[in-house]
């Protein structure tokens, strides 16, 4: 499971919902795997306001990953402004199918133009979408309940007495 | 016509096979009236932050993969996030592959994961922008959950699942208890907590025995601004199933 997924998960136990300590869930005994994925620069820029950065820093440190900066990067930090930059990654090209369909004119996205991801973008992409927990546990900071991750699938089903 | 995702890798002995209900969801969500509504809410021009699409009970993953693979047409943007849950671990693995296939090669959205869980109980509050649920809606006795842990994985020492196990896992996908509403009512109870109160929108499939008019009225009674309307239906003239797709959303307070 990807680390960005943890940005949207919390403890499944009802009585934990009101406690701020139930988010984020804390990885324990985690085995990590890097699974390469296409970098979507527009996505990375737009997701920044949705990231719970302090919590992400905690997760990264608990996993023994390199420390994240105290403050999240800005949109500008994610691309290289140089006009001599090499050709952009193919992920940034407009979808040819959408261009061909006259009833669906392509959405104009100013930041999908000729831009090269910076090292910061590559690193952020690596943390959010390429670093996966394959085995281990996710632990609630409020009640201490442990949710198992097996073969990359997290199990949030609760025993009957906790539902 | 937008492309329908491939589910050829899915074993339908223990994971629900896409059927009339699944395809009605695809048709409704990609219909001109719904894409207009969704573009208005989520296109890059209306909001810069990527919407999170959550499907509960993904089964084969065909619906979530369809939205993920066609997000540009459906939502008007290339950076939507997709997340799913299912109570059946085999469905989680199958759906993960279905959505991954539909979005790889520069797909117009970003796939997170399918987590094994009970409805949306593990989803952070207010985080969901587009919610999709094709529930177990058939009025039939709920399966006995006491064996779930044993039935939710290939038994130790065996190479594959047993017949009883497969029957149980399929029952989970269709049996909805009294009036077919027991699981849906539990989900509706969680919905206001997880749905973003400003731009969140939910699509819920119901059949005639679920009494859709009563369900919609109950949702409208949640409080000021809550809306519920039928935006897709099948079985008006033929077919034994009469299905509704209900859109649930909140209008801003005046």
User: Residue A160 to residues A120, A144, B56, B148, B151: CA-CA distances in angstroms?
Assistant: 45, 17, 20, 10, 15
Question: Residue B244 sits in which domain range?
Answer: 20-250
Rounded CA separation B229/B232 (Å): 9
What angle, rounded to 10 degrees, do the helices at B62-69 and B20-29 form?
Answer: 20
- Averaged pLDDT of chain A: 86
| Any A CB within 8 A of B122 CB | yes
> Is residue B9 one of the residues assigned to a domain?
no
Q: Do B145 and A129 touch (CB under 8 A)?
A: no
* Structure confidence at residue A108 (pLDDT): 46
**Contact (CB<8Å) A156/B112:** no
| CA gap B228, A143 in Å, rounded | 36
The pLDDT assigned to A3 comes to 98
pLDDT at residue A106, as a whole number = 47
A113 CB-contact burial (10 Å; exposed 0-12 / middle 13-18 / buried 19+): exposed
Pairwise CB contact (< 8 Å): A1 & B72: no
Question: Which of B110, B122, B145 comes nearest A12 by C-beta?
Answer: B122
User: Would you say residue A146 has pLDDT above 80?
Assistant: yes
Model confidence at A160: pLDDT above 80:
no
Q: Is the CB of B141 inside 8 Å of chain A's CB atoms?
A: no
Q: At what angle do helices B62-69 and B89-103 cross, to 10 degrees?
A: 20
Share of chain A above pLDDT 90, in %: 74
Positions of chain B with pLDDT under 70: 105-106, 236-241, 254
Distances (CA, A) of A74 to A65, A71, A120, B80, B98: 21, 9, 10, 20, 34
DSSP string for B5-32: PP-TT--TTTSPPP-HHHHHHHHHHTSH
Domain assignment present for residue B65? The answer is: yes
Query: Is B43 part of a structural domain of the chain?
Result: yes
Question: Is B186 in the A-facing interface, judged by CB distances under 8 Å?
Answer: no
Asked whether the beta carbons of residue A153 and residue B118 sit closer than 8 angstroms, the reply is no
pLDDT for the residue numbered A163: 67
Of A43, A109, A153, which has the smallest distance from its Cβ to B50's Cβ? A43
What total number of domains does chain B contain?
1
Say how many domains are in chain A: 1
Q: In B, which residues are within 8 Å of A49 by CB distance?
A: 48-49
The DSSP string of A75-108 is: GGGGEE--TTPPPPPGGGS--HHHHH-TTSPPPP
Enumerate residues 6+ apart whose C-beta is below 8 A from A20: none
Structural domain boundaries, residue A117: 3-162
Gap from B185 CA to chain A (nearest CA, Å) = 16
Nearest to A38 among B44, B77, B106 (CB): B106
User: What does the pLDDT read at residue B108?
Assistant: 84
Residues in chain A with CB shorter than 8 Å from the CB of B81 are 4, 47
CATH number for the domain that contains residue B212: 3.40.50.150
> How do residues A86-114 score in pLDDT, each as one tens digit?
555 544 444 545 444 445 444 444 444 56
The burial of A102, by beta-carbon neighbours within 10 Å (0-12 exposed, 13-18 middle, 19 or more buried), is given as exposed
- On whether residue B104 sits in a domain, the answer given is yes
H helices of chain B, where? 20-29, 32-42, 62-69, 71-75, 89-103, 148-151, 163-174, 182-194, 212-220
pLDDT for A87: 52
pLDDT confidence of residue B239: 58
The residue with greater pLDDT, B158 or A82, is B158
> How far lies B128's CA from each of A7, A83, A125, B84, B201, in Å?
12, 38, 22, 11, 8
Nearest alpha carbon to residue B64 among B54, B51, B74: B54
The whole-number pLDDT of residue B118 equals: 96
Express each pLDDT in B156-177 by its tens digit: 899 999 999 999 999 999 999 9
B82 touching A (Cβ < 8 Å): no
Distance of CA B22 to the CA centre of its chain: 9
Contact B224, B253 (CB under 8 A): yes
**What is the domain-level CATH number for residue A84?**
2.20.25.10
The predicted pLDDT at position B77 comes to 93
Q: A6-39, pLDDT tens digit by residue?
A: 999 999 999 999 999 999 999 999 999 999 999 9
| Candidates A5, A155, A156; nearest CB to B112 | A5
**B116 contacts in chain A (CB < 8 Å):** 153-157
Placement of tokens 């400003």 in the chain: B198
pLDDT at A83: 61
ipTM: 0.94
């Amino acid at each position: 499971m990807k680390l960005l997924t943890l940005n949207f998960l919390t403890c499944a136990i009802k009585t934990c919902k009101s406690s701020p300590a139930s988010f984020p869930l804390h990885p324990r005994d985690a085995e990590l795997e890097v699974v390469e994925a296409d970098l979507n620069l527009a996505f990375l820029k737009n997701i920044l306001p949705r990231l719970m950065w302090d919590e992400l820093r905690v997760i990264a440190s608990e996993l023994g990953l390199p420390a994240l900066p105290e403050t999240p990067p800005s949109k500008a930090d994610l691309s290289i402004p140089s006009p001599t930059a090499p050709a952009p990654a193919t992920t940034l090209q407009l979808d040819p199918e959408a261009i061909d369909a006259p009833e669906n004119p392509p959405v104009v996205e100013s930041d999908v133009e000729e831009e090269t991801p910076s090292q910061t973008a590559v690193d952020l992409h690596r943390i959010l979408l390429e670093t996966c927990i394959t085995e281990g546990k996710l632990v609630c900071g409020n009640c201490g309940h442990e949710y198992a991750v097996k073969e990359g699938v997290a199990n949030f089903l609760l025993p009957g007495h906790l539902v | 016509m937008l492309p329908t995702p491939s589910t050829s890798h899915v074993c339908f002995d223990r994971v629900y096979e896409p059927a009339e209900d699944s395809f009605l969801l695809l048709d409704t969500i990609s219909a001109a009236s719904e894409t207009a509504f969704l573009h208005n809410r989520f296109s890059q021009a209306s909001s810069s932050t990527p919407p999170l699409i959550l499907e509960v009970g993904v089964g084969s993953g065909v619906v979530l993969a369809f939205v993920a693979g066609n997000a540009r047409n459906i939502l008007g943007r290339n950076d939507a996030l997709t997340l799913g849950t299912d109570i059946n671990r085999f469905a989680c693995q199958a759906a993960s592959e279905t959505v991954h296939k539909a979005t790889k090669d520069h797909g117009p959205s970003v796939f997170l994961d399918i987590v094994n869980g009970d409805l949306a109980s593990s989803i952070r509050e207010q985080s969901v922008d587009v919610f999709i649920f094709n529930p177990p809606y058939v009025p039939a006795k709920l399966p006995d959950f006491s064996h779930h842990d044993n039935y939710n994985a290939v038994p130790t020492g065996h190479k594959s699942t047993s017949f009883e196990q497969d029957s149980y896992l399929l029952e989970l996908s269709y049996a909805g208890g009294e009036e077919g509403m027991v699981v849906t009512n539990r989900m509706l109870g969680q919905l206001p907590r997880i749905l973003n109160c400003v731009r969140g929108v939910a699509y819920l499939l119901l059949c005639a025995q679920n009494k859709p008019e009563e369900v919609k009225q109950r949702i409208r009674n949640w409080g000021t601004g809550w809306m519920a309307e039928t935006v897709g239906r099948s079985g008006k003239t033929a077919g034994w199933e009469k299905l509704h797709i209900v859109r649930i959303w909140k209008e801003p307070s005046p």
